[in-house]
Copies of this chain bind each other. A is one copy, B any other.
Amino acid sequence: MTAAERREEEKAAFGAYVDGCPTHQLMGIIGNKWSMLVLTDLAQGARRYAEVSRALPGVSAKMLTQTLRSLERDGLVARSVTPSVPVQVEYTLTLLGERIVPLLDSIKEWAGRHIEEIHAARERYDGTPAGV
């Protein structure tokens, strides 16, 4: 049992380490389905809710709100309300949000440069020369 217990402890410790790991947290922020898209759209300039929604035709209202809120909470996006009738809400990148753009660009650049190689590897692995 002692060995098993030690395993458990190590596991818990590692779990805590992973949860506290900045990289893992960052991946949690930008790794979800819409964050990169929203950030990329806002990088072009300020946008209203409906504008972002139109730029991302696949997003549901729920996910857009959730994504925006989450990015706001993380200090990457700023939300400003103009109390007209009906209200106008504008989203912009914060300074921190702008600082993440180059990183996003790096990721996009790497993806663009190497995705073909990955596709080729997949076809080799799957034994599916063409198809799909």
Contact = CB atoms under 8 A, between A and B. Distances in A.
Interface residues of A, number: 46
13 contacts: A10-B57, A18-B37, A22-B112, A23-B108, A23-B112, A27-B30, A73-B122, A74-B121, A74-B122, A96-B117, A99-B114, A106-B106, A107-B107
B100 A121 contact: no
Interface of A: 7, 10-11, 13-15, 18, 22-27, 29-31, 36-37, 56-58, 72-76, 96, 99-100, 103, 106-108, 110-112, 114-115, 117-118, 120-122, 124-126
A121 B36 CA distance: 19
Contact of A57 (B7, B112, B120): B7
A92 to B, nearest CB: 15
Contact of A23 (B13, B96, B107): B107
A25 B121 CA distance: 14
